[in-house]
Amino acid sequence: MKSLIRSACRPIGGELQQTCVTFSVAGYPLGKERAALRCCAPMTISYDPSDFNELTVLMKWRGTIMPAVLCRPAMWMLMAAHVTFYYLHMYRADVEMPTLSWKLTGVPTALLTFFLVFYSGNCFSRYYAFYTRCMGMSGAAMAYTGLLRVHLPKASPEKLWNLARMVVASVYLLYFQLSGGASDGGKRVTESEWKVLVATGLISEEEKIKLDNFRGFRPFLLQIWALRALQDHLQEDKEKGPGAALGPFQAQILTLRGHCAEIVDQMTQPIPFPYYHTLTLMLSLNLLLIAYSMIEFETIMTIPCFFIIVLVCIGLKETAVALADPFGGDDVDFETENYMAAMLANTKAMISPSADYSPQLLPIMAKKK
């Protein structure tokens, strides 16, 4: 299957500018600002371990700890400290360097290892909990659309679309609010992102205004609108399937709402800062102690050895930090555009391969006028 998202860069106006044209499988643009964000930002690295050997893995740059660690001042400050200690110990007889036995660093190193592994494990569990919730949202939206097909066999594709679109729109809106790029860290939804929702036919201009002015949890408001629209349709549809009722749909909406709430709640409750502070403090002090104690070996080979120690320790910490928030542009972050495009494509495939996917004024909106 071809990629759900395609990006292209081309010159415009006589100057070579990076312009990203991003399309979903349904053929709708995802927005200029958001496309530019994804085109310029790293993407999740998909790989098969059997395709690599030791040499090809070592030659990789993108998606590794190298960019995250080598660009940090702390890395080079620690290396400078070790080189300085080594120089003073080996070439400055007038400077007396107190002895710090290598064995004395064993206890703090063991504590650091425990804290680093424990912190990384919690971040890893948090990462896969987020992934489970993301897949759960897609599954709930798919189940909701499937129930529409089962219980409303005589409904037109346009009617089914207008009953399903707000469920899909609620997931889109949540991803837009979570993203740390164009959405300003979730504090707002940008105009380009509103245009995505309107251009894909998920919401109308009138609904966009109401959502923009709403100060509560917008994804749940869309889910409530979807249930109200379905409730009105069930009362009017004389050809609905036997046993058609609001209950199964309500169960899927509440499941979807639960996944949304779990993601938002976990994002607003990171791993406690005192634990992160303790880990950072232990990491910095322990590496500084190692930088000093290694001079007792009196060989220049301690410099590359210390470099590897710092690279691995800081790399593990930076990887754990990136895993703790997978909604953004890091290499380990989720490709939410792919999730959204796949969900929209599945919804339209279940409704009809060819239909007018335009938002219609729902009865609930007409009543509010």
Residue 120 has pLDDT above 90, yes or no: yes
Burial environment of residue 292 by CB neighbours within 10 A (0 to 12, 13 to 18, 19 or more):
buried
CA distance 279 to 291: 18
Is the pLDDT score of 37 beyond 80?
no
CA dihedral 10, 30, 140, 145 (to 10 degrees): -110
CA distance 120 to 163: 43
pLDDT for residue 360: 74
Q: Tokens representing 70?
A: 């080598």
User: Is residue 304 a contact partner of residue 266, using CB atoms and an 8 Å limit?
Assistant: no
List the single range of 9-18, 102-111, 259-268, 335-344 with lowest mean pLDDT: 9-18
Helix axes 157-178, 191-199, angle to 10 degrees: 160
What pLDDT score does 43 carry?
52
Terminal C-alpha separation, the chain = 45
C-beta separation of 335 from 108 below 8 A: no
Domain residue limits, the chain = 73-368
How far CA 247 is from CA of 141, 190, 231, 347, 363, in Å, comes to: 15, 35, 10, 20, 20
pLDDT value of residue 194 = 92
pLDDT (tens digit, 9 = 90+) per residue, 321-344?
989 989 877 778 888 889 999 999
Q: For 245-280, what is the HEC assignment?
A: CHHHHHHHHHHHHHHHHHHHHHHHCCCCHHHHHHHH
**pLDDT at 109 (0 to 100):** 92
- Calpha distance 362→162 (Å, rounded): 8
Average pLDDT value for the chain = 82
pLDDT score at 328? 78
Backbone angles phi, psi at 43, to 5 degrees: -120, 160
What confidence tier does 347 reach under pLDDT thresholds 50, 70, 90?
very high
Task: Quote the tokens at residue 294.
Answer: 């290694």
Record the pTM.
Answer: 0.79
Residue where the block lists tokens 């999730």: 339
User: CA-to-CA distance for 338 and 159, rounded, in angstroms?
Assistant: 26
Token representation of residue 15: 């100057």
pLDDT band with cut points at 50, 70 and 90 for residue 50:
confident
CB 305 within 8 A of CB 321: no
Residue 90 DSSP SS3: helix
Position 273 pLDDT exceeds 70: yes
pLDDT top residue among 242 and 14: 242
CB neighbour list of residue 77: distance below 8 Å, 6 or more residues apart: none
